[in-house]
A and B are shown apart, each in its own frame.
Chain A
Amino acid sequence: MSFLNNYIYYIGALGLILIGLYIILVKRNLIKVIIGLSILDTGINLFLISIGYMSEGTAPIFEKGEAKLARMVDPVPQALVLTAIVIGVAVLALALSLAIRLYHHYGTLNLRKIREQRW
């Protein structure tokens, strides 16, 4: 069980990433594809945060000039995740607004039926 205890976050993150990719590749409805993108993003964020995670760690703030290095979580992945969340929100918002316009034009969100552009 120690394997699970040590790697549970990575396993969860990988699971979310694979679920997201599966949805994007298989689903036909654009809204579902966008949900898949969101799940993929969540999986990546969980993965990034678990790189720096440490159980019972504290925030990396120096007290009275001395650092308790042993029990501090790594702050860099948290900064990365914060940025990645913002980017994810921007992409999601743009995707949803494009979905609205797509529905106006075609009357459907089924991506298999929307294929006017071809090779």
Chain B
Amino acid sequence: MVNPVLLIVVPLGLSFAIPLFSLISKRIEKYIPVAALVFNLVVSLLLIPKVLKQPINVFIGGYLPPFCINLVAGPVGILFSALIALIGLLVSIYALDYIREGAKQLYHILYLLLLTGATGVVLTGDIFNLFVFFEILCISSYALVAYFGDRAGIESAVKYLIQGAVGSSLMLIGIGLLYGLFGTLNMADIARNIDSVSSISVFVPLVLLITGLGVEAAIFPLNAWLPDAHSSAPSSISAILSGIAIKVGIYALARVIFTIFGASSLLQFMVFLGLLTLLVGEVSAFSQNNIKRLLAYSSIGQIGLIVFALGIGITYGVVGGLFQLISHALSKALLFLAVGYMIYRSGSMDISALEGMGKRMPLTSLAFTIGAFSLVGFPPFIGFPSKFLIIRAALSKEEVLFTVLIAFVLLGTVIEGAYFFRVIQVLYFRGGQTDIKREEAPVPALIPIFILMILIVVIGIYPKPVTNLLNSASSELLNRIEYIRGVLG
């Protein structure tokens, strides 16, 4: 049997082995992340059938929980680790050609560390361990945002660092309070005892944890860092930050609210927060002239939609939320990767500079169009089933409130469609020059773009295998008794 620990250990070890490998040859250092993530993807996919039968618990150090640090490879954990490995692998192939200047070796080390941190967060069953992995993720992403070292990059990295550090400090205070209350750091053990103390003393750590994780998950009003950081980072890092980093924040938030605290009374609040985030993100995206800032604000909107769906709190809602999470990760990664080379070729991030790209880079423009259509929710693409499930979940609550709220969500989608069509119109129908030379992106960049396009279409047409995994993932999130029993026996 494959041990889920390998999902964390192998990338961690390989990331620090990169300087050693580069002693042998300078050229192989950029292939190490690819190798590590291929391994992670294969292991995650191998574990899926086993995990669907029964979650795998790993006790580190040979002690039994709650005394040891444990890993819980349930359907949720493996779903996320497979997604992280998939997106990470595709982006690392893209980076083979895209990262040409700067401290390349450090880029690859930090990139693998970022993904190690993300994988650790989704697999761990210990709340302090979750904090540590989160810090690994955050510190490497602060450094990667500043990778180019230009004015905008440094400024956004400083902002991101200050806000992120305050957020994780608040989270640590929350963890300290929980330890003071329960004398344990094991998430299942805390969840088992959470009802034994008065709800007011649990409320403070809950608020601190939600605020701390909300910074990382970019929930309104804690998202001021996101548009700067995502637009100033290298495009490959923007794809990872939008596709993976904020999703991991959402995961941790869901784990805290659903599993540890079982705070069903809070879900209504999360629904409103999600809707507010959605509308703020989409409206801000509408008024942007910088293409990467537009995509960053659109990420905020999509995060809002995911939080909204998870907050509905019924099976369909959680399945829809997780599906939307996957669909956004694939589509937004595709959009950032496509835009990366368009900016590289045109030399500007202004939307107006993309005129004529439909002829100059037809394949990349096609990829952008597919990603945009998928985010808006057009039928043959993956965005359609996910949005459909969310709307169905909201309507199946059969409450007037949710019917009104879903109308606002659809309004957000309309705004989203409007600004994406504006960009697509610029790509194909602006600029009268006829004698444009074809300058397609290089092959290492086209491979991940093609794979993402194929995945978006195939899962959009045939979502059944994914929804099977999502169903058991949502039952893991909603059924906390089962989770506690699985860990503590």
Min CB gap B133→A, angstroms: 11
For A116, list chain B residues within 8 Å (CB): 151-152, 155
Is A117 interfacial (CB-CB < 8 Å)?
yes
Minimum C-beta distance from B374 to chain A (A): 26
Contact A98 B228 (CB under 8 A): no
Q: Which residues of B contact A80 (CB under 8 A)?
A: 128, 175-176, 179
Contact B158 A44, beta carbon cutoff 8 Å: no
At the interface with chain A, which of B24-32, B162-170, B378-386?
Answer: B162-170
Partner of B162, one of A17, A33, A83, A114: A33
A60-99 vs B, CB cutoff 8 Å, 1 = contact: the mask equals 0000000000000000110010011001001100110011
Q: Which residues of B have CB within 8 Å of A114?
A: 155
B62 within 8 A of A: no
Q: Is the CB of A51 within 8 A of B161?
A: no
Nearest CB of chain A from residue B201's CB, rounded to whole Å: 14
Q: Mark A34-45, 1 if CB is under 8 A from B, else 0.
A: 000100110010
Cβ contacts under 8 Å, B175 to chain A? 80
> Please, how many angstroms separate the alpha-carbon atoms of A99 and B159 in the complex?
11
* B173 contacts across to A, CB distance below 8 A: 17, 44, 47
Interface size on B, residues (CB 8 A): 34
- Of B158, B165, B169, B179, the residue contacting A102 (CB under 8 A) is B158
B139, B172, B173, B227: residue with the most chain A Cβ atoms closer than 10 Å: B172
Q: Which of B139, B179, B228 contacts A77 (CB 8 A)?
A: B179
CA–CA, A100 to B285, complex, Å? 32
**Residue A3 lies at the interface, judged by CB distance under 8 Å to chain B:** no
Contacts of A99 in B (CB 8 A): 158
User: Are B166 and A24 interface neighbours, CB within 8 A?
Assistant: yes
Q: Is the CB of A94 within 8 A of B143?
A: yes
A106–B151 touching, CB < 8 Å? yes
- Which secondary structure characterizes the binding site on chain A? helix
CB of B142 within 8 A of CB of A117, answer: no
The answer to whether B149 and A101 have CB atoms under 8 Å apart is yes
Which residues of A lie under 8 Å from residue B139 when comparing CB positions?
Answer: 87, 90-91, 94
B185/A76 in contact, CB under 8 A: yes
With the chains together, A96 CA to B450 CA distance in Å?
41
Q: Give, as a whole number of angstroms, the nearest-CB distance from A90 to chain B.
A: 6
Give which listed residue, B151, B156, B284, contacts A105 with CB less than 8 A: B151
Q: Does B347 contact A (CB under 8 A)?
A: no
Chain B residues positioned under 8 Å from A105 (CB to CB) = 150-151, 154-155
- Is B135 an interface position by the 8 A CB rule? yes
When the two chains form their complex, are residues B180 and A51 in contact, meaning their CB atoms are under 8 A apart?
yes
What 9 additional pairs, Cβ within 8 angstroms, besides A20-B169, A101-B154? A24-B162, A33-B162, A37-B162, A37-B165, A44-B169, A44-B173, A77-B176, A83-B132, A99-B158
